[in-house]
Structure 1
């Protein structure tokens, strides 16, 4: 029975197969048609991807963003190591007002063509990548640099973008600020304006790599991302959420570098080989370079008062170029209450807990950036009537117009140096100390270094990090430590306005033979603050920096500090534009470590701190003196 059923089933299947015609074999091909390009018909802009040839044949990738209907339009040109594709990526939209990041969208709306290029050797550009590649010369034996690449790119753009009027302005933040400054060296004739924003200028004195000889070891995270691969696919992975513990456990900077593989990267090897301010650093410093160049291109320097990465560069280049501006109408600067790059695409109403009573970033772009470009790039552009220097005064939350920085302002308010003196009992006052005086003392222990912010300290690129606002952190966490000395004034009975550069001039001794000194100038809010109760007692640092004691006499020639001898130090602090309000107090904090942002000083003089051994790290007794003979103080740029 079963066999008859199976036979019948097989016969039925064969009959059915015979009734269905055989199917022809289908050739499988790609579902991505060759040469297909998405339509721009619904968009109010187009993007052209191009490969621009350089003089040596290397091609650099660029995106050209052209608003529909553009005609005789100027070009805004940016060069970046952080991806030209990412730089023009906003929200998915057919409207450039949404599809582009804020600043580029506003420039497009103002009638500009936007061009963003990958620098040589990064992302889609050909060639070899050298971080902050120096100009052709002793440090660069090739026949190209950022100046030549910019020149060649501009030359190609004005000849191959038919919608342009042939005028170009360069702009960029950070590394892009560096490439913008490079465009001013032998500039192309079509370059008519430049806006370097928070540029890398001098990597030893105060930008990125070092600050006055102290190495920014947290910078290794950036070095790794920029050197391990041309598209920044790799980031450092720390073994702890709190990187303070990771760095302390590792030991010296070189120990950490070996642990994570950074020691194999050329940019770190160069830093180890050049810990002092030798010709390697001097010949790259753009303020020195541009001081020797003629001023051919109107330039707007953009400086951020709380720039956590490149706080030195913009004012230094402005100062270097200013003597060449005979008519006081080509060299401009704006100083804003921002962190690094905040003025371009981020809201400028606040930074951390500090409120500025309005979106200062939007104000800058509308009132300064676009009018500056309009004047110099548009045919028949109107005079922007910018002040040579426009500065936001924190504390008062007001913009001011100055004839120059920091000598005088349009309304006639010359700044003058006025010293505020430390006293051995922790006071701070306008009168110079008399008599024998005394000293304030603390013990600096490399095994328990003072942090640069409250723990836990996340890595720079941790998704939860607040790295961008650490300069405005409440400094009460440091004041509470026994290895930080504090000097504080009486309550102010009048406002105190500052505009310029504070200079710390202090007398100190150490029981060691080397030492770091960190000086902080702080605005202390009233203990009770009705306008914002959460700000009661807040300690807002308005200017702070670090110096390595071995370079006190000559940055290029380190020398041991004589143990237990009083030595005079001078530390130029970052620029300020601030009003200490009546009812507030002025505070100064001094300490000998700022970890893990900066590497620890072993407090024993060694030839190269990068390779210090565990046994080199010793405790040291530090003293800050105050007397008629040793009048430790900060010289403040006060506007009466």
Structure 2
């Protein structure tokens, strides 16, 4: 027993002496610091990341960039679903103007104005907590059961900023593009007293009438990828997978857009379920249309609405808000800019749009002469000389300072003639020009291959200015061309389509385009010889002819009247040019195909529902088709 105890003690001693060697930590072989400290000493600004509490306790991630030495500086706020951290971390420069050189920021204006830049993730996105709802409807509507929305979140954010950023002068401006333009508009509903100016640029306003999701009832298929990536995860980490490089092939393969969405997992996305449930312009869309909401909210904040005349995403919004709010603007606080840009191009280099050149950098001119003085006036009390309306007139390629929009327009009917010509006088010859619309061979909005969004060389930003010659010769496109002009024709306002047409089907889409046809040769610009430049164009889904909210089957083979406005224009058709109007019945794959058989929901159309239809456009006589053009005074000849 003694020997056993001795052996145990000896073993314990050996184990104890061996323990330190066994427990010794492995040598560190990592050259990275345990916690990285930014080299802030070389920066010309200070970066603060804060979590601002909202009234319901949810905290929103907010990045504040403050110029070094700032005192009494105004704050410029943007509320975004696109990552505040990414939008404030561009490049490797220590200069604030470079750090924010990205989407929405207009860094030249921010840097020159000495502004404190604030960018916040909206609730449910990236660093912010809470649930995410696409274009969250407002409190008090049947669509929002909570007590918070973008208006309340903006109010709470501004209230925190003016109390916790001592370098500021207590004044805040809000600006943003697209979704961030929508949140800028939302700030105008019950605005915080410290909100002194707003610049909503290309905002999402009405997703059914003509912004992101539908145009007059036709669904914009290209946005399926956006819906997935924006809603599926809080940080857009999951991508919509594209097995085909050609979007035309992708959207044709599945038949209806509902079948395609199901195949790609969108049925689990709440917003997609809402779209499927509301294909018509019912209360779901009407209650959240920002122009309707703002028409009921007295304007308390000086606001400049910024519109791109070739906005490929949100071309409906700004003109609709302007029309809704300007009549009640007794204090002259509502301003408008209309520039020759694609979506958001106003904060980029903008001397051209696709192949069309404007003779100067229109974006820089606008930022320097309009945006900068407008913000400085209301945030720093500096003088400004900014007109109520600043509009670029394409064709003449000049900026105009106007007192209103449209200004002094007169109506002129541009008639479609039986010989496929155009004229400002009606033709006595009545005719019905026909073509066959085949859903199996729809008219493409761009020449194939239709590159998917995100692919190299994607033409999405500039497609609205794409040459229309590739479709002019198709047998399912009617092209009406006017004579060579011997004097300028200036158009400013909303052209209104008055189309009389029949279909052998029970539903139909109608696409109408107003086009500037360039001379066969253009000096010093060979690429524009004979170019067919779209000035404005849009689509209308026939089932909504009588009511946007109550779809109805069309009576086959009976001429019916369709009336709808095209997006606004401010353009001069120059001498030597010609005016063209095109009519067709598909615009694929940008918009989903109409089966041309009336079904309750086109999202659920079956293969057998897609049929050829004989389309007839009535021209000549009292019932002939025409476009009502808003003519304005042409500039004097130089």
Q: Distance in 1 between matches of 2:39 and 2:79?
A: 27
Bigger shift: residues 38-47 or 119-128: 38-47
Task: Please list every run of at least 4 consecutive aligned residues from structure 1 whose deviation after the TM superposition is greater than 3 angstroms.
Answer: 22-36
Shift of 1:108: 2.5
Q: Which of 435, 440, 462 is residue 442 of structure 1 equivalent to?
A: 435
| 8 Å contact from structure 1 (residues 108, 114) kept in 2 | no
- Name the residue aligned to 1:402: 402
Q: Which of 581, 584, 589 is residue 588 of structure 1 equivalent to?
A: 581
Q: Does 1:130 align with 2:130?
A: no
Q: Distance in 1 between matches of 2:188 and 2:31?
A: 48
- Name the residue aligned to 1:421: 415
SS of aligned partner of 2:144: coil
Shift of 1:26: 5.1
- Name the residue aligned to 1:255: 259
Superposition map of 1:213-292 within 5 A = 213-292=217-296
| 8 Å contact from structure 1 (residues 155, 188) kept in 2 | yes
- Name the residue aligned to 1:454: 447
Q: Does 1:494 align with 2:487?
A: yes
Shift of 1:96: 2.0
Bigger shift: residues 226-235 or 274-283: 226-235
SS of aligned partner of 2:514: strand
- Name the residue aligned to 1:197: 201
Q: Which of 492, 509, 514 is residue 507 of structure 2 equivalent to?
A: 514
SS of aligned partner of 2:321: helix
| 8 Å contact from structure 2 (residues 76, 118) kept in 1 | yes
- Deviations, residues 131-161 of structure 1 (Å, cap 9, x unaligned): 1000012100011100000000000000000
- Deviations, residues 443-487 of structure 1 (Å, cap 9, x unaligned): 000000000111100112223312111101000011121100010
- Name the residue aligned to 2:5: none
Superposition map of 1:471-486 within 5 A = 471-486=464-479
Q: Which of 359, 367, 370 is residue 368 of structure 1 equivalent to?
A: 370
| 8 Å contact from structure 1 (residues 104, 114) kept in 2 | no
For these two proteins, the number of residue pairs brought into alignment is 608
Q: Does 1:339 align with 2:342?
A: yes
| 8 Å contact from structure 1 (residues 97, 106) kept in 2 | no
| 8 Å contact from structure 1 (residues 305, 335) kept in 2 | yes
Q: Which of 344, 352, 355 is residue 353 of structure 1 equivalent to?
A: 355
- Name the residue aligned to 2:45: 45
Q: Distance in 2 between matches of 1:138 and 1:197?
A: 28
SS of aligned partner of 2:506: coil
- Name the residue aligned to 1:15: none
What is the TM-score with the length of structure 1 in the denominator? 0.93
| 8 Å contact from structure 1 (residues 306, 472) kept in 2 | yes
| 8 Å contact from structure 2 (residues 355, 527) kept in 1 | no
Q: Which of 108, 111, 114 is residue 114 of structure 2 equivalent to?
A: 111
SS of aligned partner of 1:41: helix
Q: Distance in 2 between matches of 1:573 and 1:405?
A: 16
Q: Does 1:432 align with 2:436?
A: no
Shift of 1:33: 5.3
- Name the residue aligned to 1:389: 389
- Name the residue aligned to 1:464: 457
Q: Distance in 2 between matches of 1:298 and 1:624?
A: 46
List gaps (5 residues or longer) in structure 2: 1-20, 634-638
What is the TM-score with the length of structure 2 in the denominator? 0.93
SS of aligned partner of 2:42: coil
SS of aligned partner of 1:509: strand
Q: Distance in 2 between matches of 1:235 and 1:458?
A: 17
- Deviations, residues 97-132 of structure 1 (Å, cap 9, x unaligned): 333216134313211100000000000100001110
- Name the residue aligned to 1:562: 555
SS of aligned partner of 1:147: helix
Q: Does 1:98 align with 2:134?
A: no
| 8 Å contact from structure 1 (residues 64, 114) kept in 2 | yes
Q: Distance in 2 between matches of 1:227 and 1:124?
A: 15
| 8 Å contact from structure 1 (residues 96, 105) kept in 2 | no
Q: 1:394 to 1:79 in 2, by over 3 A?
A: same
- Deviations, residues 514-535 of structure 1 (Å, cap 9, x unaligned): 0000000000000111131121
Bigger shift: residues 617-626 or 83-92: 83-92
Bigger shift: residues 28-37 or 54-63: 28-37
- Name the residue aligned to 1:3: none
Q: Distance in 2 between matches of 1:317 and 1:377?
A: 24
| 8 Å contact from structure 1 (residues 340, 468) kept in 2 | yes
Shift of 1:69: 1.1
Q: Distance in 2 between matches of 1:165 and 1:34?
A: 38
List gaps (5 residues or longer) in structure 1: 1-21, 409-413
- Name the residue aligned to 2:545: 552
